[in-house]
């Protein structure tokens, strides 16, 4: 079970770090509406630009904490639950703008992984 948790933490953390640090200004098929980058995506959702930076900071920080929790398990629940809540917000934003359900699939999958980490 320990190796499963480590694998889930690595998958979630590096996936989120990829989205927020590497794919930040790139179009992907998962972006809300017709957005070409993360800032545009937040605008499509009707959110202020500053919210993008707050959410980005939280997701990157919690992803790093999730990695740290491999060695310091006391931080595991905070990171996993915090990310699950943020990912639920992502899913709700896709629903808000009536995106096809497939666009929220990555957020849903990573939210399930975070909840698995939290409850195991």
Tell me the pLDDT tens digit for each residue of 8-41: 999 999 999 999 999 999 999 999 999 999 999 9
Instruction: Quickly count: other Cβ atoms within 10 Å of residue 119's Cβ.
Output: 9
Between the alpha carbon of residue 73 and those of residues 21, 27, 29, 52, 78, the distances in Å are 25, 35, 34, 29, 10
Give Dmax (Cα) for the chain: 41
The two three-digit tokens of residue 66, written as one number? 């999730």
Please give the Cα distance from 81 to 106 (Å, whole number).
Answer: 17
In tens, the pLDDT along 85-98 reads 999 999 999 999 99
Structure tokens at 38: 């993360």
């Amino acid at each position: 079970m320990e190796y499963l948790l480590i694998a889930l933490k690595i998958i979630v953390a590096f996936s989120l770090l990829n989205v927020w640090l590497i794919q930040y200004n790139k179009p992907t098929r998962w972006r809300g509406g017709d957005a070409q980058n993360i800032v545009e995506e937040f605008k499509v959702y009707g959110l202020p630009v500053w919210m993008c930076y707050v959410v980005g900071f939280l997701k990157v920080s919690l992803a790093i904490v999730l990695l740290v929790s491999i060695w310091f398990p006391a931080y595991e629940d905070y990171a996993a639950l915090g990310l699950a809540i943020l990912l639920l917000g992502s899913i709700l934003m896709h629903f808000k703008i009536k995106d096809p359900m497939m666009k929220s699939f990555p957020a849903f999958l990573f939210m399930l992984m975070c909840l698995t980490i939290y409850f195991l």
